[in-house]
Structure 1
Amino acid sequence: MTKRIPHGAVVCGVDGSSCSNAALLAAADLAGREHRALALVHAFEPSRVVDADRWRRQPGNDLALATLSRQEADTVLKDAALVVRGHAPDVEVVTTLREGDAREVMLAAAEDASVVVVGCRGRGGFARLPIGSVTLWLSQHSPCPTLVVRPREEGDPAAPVVVGTDATDTSAAALEFAFAQASFQGRPLVVVHCFDEHFQGGYGLTSIPDEDLEGLPTERLAIAEATAGLREKYPDVDVRIELGRGPAGPYLVRASEHAELLVVGSKQLSSFAALVLGAVSRSVVEHAACSVAVVPVSR
């Protein structure tokens, strides 16, 4: 049964694929930890049914095609709801079925959501591609945080949450999200601030030797100030600051190899900062080894 999505719910896009099923379990866990409703959303398009063109060449089959497509979509949602009720029986579950492009349907569902959870690839993706087109598009346009779940065979309970920051207000929302997730999951938090190999702080070209990375008191102070309020809000989180040399995207992708979750910011404005943030968030969504949360600068 399709219901209205509750305000502040965790929204999960489902399509019956293996990546979607991994996202479903992650979304149920997230909703349970944060005591939120879980809204399962599925978009369908009759034109995407196998042999749809052949069906339409036969008179009167348009209605049959639409009915078949909706029945298949209903089954996907019902199966997903059953999985959640078995995995997290205390979580309130609502289901939403919409006809239309998956990107538009998920974007509309994100308007009142606390977070949108999606798998790294959908049922229509090519296996060799690192990320699905709908997932990548949503991570760059959603008004709320997007959690892209990448399945792993075995989880490490000691693996940290890693967050990239530039120590300005631009990454404040990403820091807040990362602290909250580290606290909810009982994991340490690594706050990463990167320097380009030949550029530091916007003041000119500078080369930073590896041995000097630990001797940057100004940058460490900026990060400490950016995280001070969150350390007080989440005193249970063990925080480590890490200064990295080189572009943020590749550095964070390497850091993801030993992380449980990688958090980055995203800015949807026409500015240089937006271009930089967009490039970093797209890079990590496409290539990170762990799940990635992309947090917009402002809600």
Structure 2
Amino acid sequence: MSEKFLIGVDGSAQSRTALAWGLSRATDRKASVELLHVADDSFLSESAVFLSEAQDASQQMLDLEAAYARSIGFEGEITGTAVVGHPILEVEEASKRADLLVLGAHEGSKFAGSFFGTRAVKVAATAHCPVAVIPSTEVDSSAGIVVGVDGSEASQKAIDYAAEIASFRGVPLIAVYAWMPPLTPGLEYLWSEDLVKSQQAAAEEAIAIGTAGLASRYPDLTIERHIVQAPPVAALVQAAENAQMIVVGSRGRGGLSRLLLGSVSHGVLQALPVPTIVVKP
């Protein structure tokens, strides 16, 4: 069964950057594409006339973006959905029928704080499939894929996901394990050299376990393993300076807290140096 990519569109330059990114990968993967435009009804009158006009406007936006997708050369299967409603809830529901959700990032623009801006963090937390958030930055398509390693189930899912992408694209997988000794002001001296060595050994074991088996599954995959004594977000962002993508795992949550990502995935999305995919167990 072929993959399906769901791409959020709103007509902005940032959205079109994400659209082009998603269409390129859909072409590579022979995936079908569904474009989604959500007209936020938070500030709309509940009048049937207003809602009808909002629906018509949403459909017009969707038609324009579908035409744009064809104009830049996408020849695969493409469908569209235009809805009026709460953006996060609508996209959460739509993500149930997708293998990857692609969103643009609107940091620092008039769209900041809108659904396809900072709310992308909440969407990544609630979606039922991996979520790719795409910044308006140029990346080297021959560069490697960075993945965060921490020994958790979410991290292992991210490693497997990133390894498959790296193997498919023929680029290195860059596994990064970052650790920091507990810092208690005035008590740094309690961290002896032996304790630091112990932490380093634990890190080496965790990254070895995390990447175990990849070589047999992907014989041609080059795997780089980096252990860094630094805060995890800083380590991943720095590693991404010479990469085309970051893949991070985020622990799933229930109830109201499901609107929150883990601190690392949240931090990476806030920095967003390169396209970033959030994967949950």
When normalised by structure 1's length, the TM-score is 0.78
User: Per-residue deviation at 1:140?
Assistant: 1.6
1:195-252 CA-partner distances (Å, limit 9, x unpaired): 11338xxxxx84679x969x94553343233223222222232110000112212221
Measured in 2, the distance between the counterparts of 1:85 and 1:257 equals 32
Partner of 1:126: 112
Partner of 1:114: 99
Unaligned residue ranges in structure 1 (runs of 5+): 1-5, 57-61, 200-204
1:165-207 CA-partner distances (Å, limit 9, x unpaired): 11343311101111122123332111001111338xxxxx846
Partner of 2:147: 163
| CA separation of 1:82 and 1:167: change in aligned 2, threshold 3 A | same
Among residues 6, 22, 25, which one is paired with 1:11 in the alignment?
6
Contact 2:35 2:62 in 1 (8 A): yes
- Residue 217 of structure 2 corresponds to residue 233 of structure 1: yes
Measured in 2, the distance between the counterparts of 1:195 and 1:105 equals 37
Among residues 266, 275, 287, which one is paired with 2:250 in the alignment?
266
Among residues 17, 23, 26, which one is paired with 2:18 in the alignment?
23
Counterparts of residues 50-129 of structure 1 (less than 5 Å): 62-121=47-106, 125-126=111-112
Helix, strand or coil at the partner of 2:34: strand
1:25-44 CA-partner distances (Å, limit 9, x unpaired): 11112222222211111111
Helix, strand or coil at the partner of 2:93: helix
- Residue 208 of structure 2 corresponds to residue 224 of structure 1: yes
Helix, strand or coil at the partner of 1:27: helix
- AA paired with 1:149? I
User: Per-residue deviation at 1:258?
Assistant: 2.5
Partner of 2:186: none
Query: Greater CA deviation, 95-104 or 117-126?
Result: 117-126
Unaligned residue ranges in structure 2 (runs of 5+): 184-189
When normalised by structure 2's length, the TM-score is 0.83
Counterparts of residues 168-179 of structure 1 (less than 5 Å): 168-179=152-163
- AA paired with 1:108? E
Coordinate RMSD, CA, aligned: 3.1
